[in-house]
Amino acid sequence: EFEIPLNIKTIGNYAFQLCTSLNAVIIPSSVTVIGHYAFLSCNNLKNIKLPHSIISIGIGAFQKCTKLTQIDLPSSVTKIEQHAFSGCFRLSNKSIISFTLIKEIEPFTFEDCVSIVELIIPNSVEKIGANLFCRCKSLKQITIPSSVKIIEKNTFYECFSLEKVELLAKITQIENGMFYKCTSLHSISIPSTVTLIGEKSFYSCSSLTEILIPPSVVTIGIASFESCSSLKKVIIDAIQK
């Protein structure tokens, strides 16, 4: 266990990288920034409590902390950079839904977080980065609020257990590979604001049985529904104009 001195304001880049025996860290309320890769590959770090002074969590800050089971994200956090928690195999969904000021969740933030089962994205979020939940193999359910305007490519790439997506977002594009190989996804409602369904966006969604394409859609990309082996019904509302 390591207690960071009270006068420290920033935990610098690579500060504790590869400290493989570190199992607990006490961060004082003076700290506002956790730098890039600060705790990268701290394989024995099991839990960490962030004070309400924290504003920014850097690139890969907790990447590959493979025993990290819980991290309480305070509402003060306004920025979480890419790969911040990727490869945290044991991180559960209970600890990552409290942040309320973030407008953008950057790419790969929760990549390979295979223990996350359910997640509600806060109403503050406007943009979801690429590959955000890539290979989150236990993720079953997610709610994306109406505040979200952009969801980038491969968001749910190979989320094999994903069954339900409440897509309330006012997005205009289902980006390339968004639900690539989401083999348990059996239904989804495409928002009426969508104009483009990207390439391989529903590739190999083998449990998908029916899809309603709203009148707003003008382009369906290459291999969008390729290998959707259970798909029996496609309703294209656009032809009813």
Span of 6-15, 61-70, 216-225, 232-241 with lowest mean pLDDT: 232-241
CB 209 within 8 A of CB 184: no
Phi, psi angles (nearest 5°) of residue 233: -140, 130
What is d(CA 57, CA 6) in angstroms, rounded to the nearest whole number?
A: 19
What is d(CA 213, CA 192) in angstroms, rounded to the nearest whole number?
A: 9
Measure CA of the first residue to CA of the last residue in the chain; give whole Å: 65
For residue 223, what pLDDT band results from cuts at 50, 70 and 90? Answer: very high
Residues 6+ apart with CB under 8 A from 128: 104, 105, 121, 144, 148, 150, 151, 152, 155
The pTM (predicted TM-score) of the whole model is 0.91
pLDDT confidence of residue 99 = 64
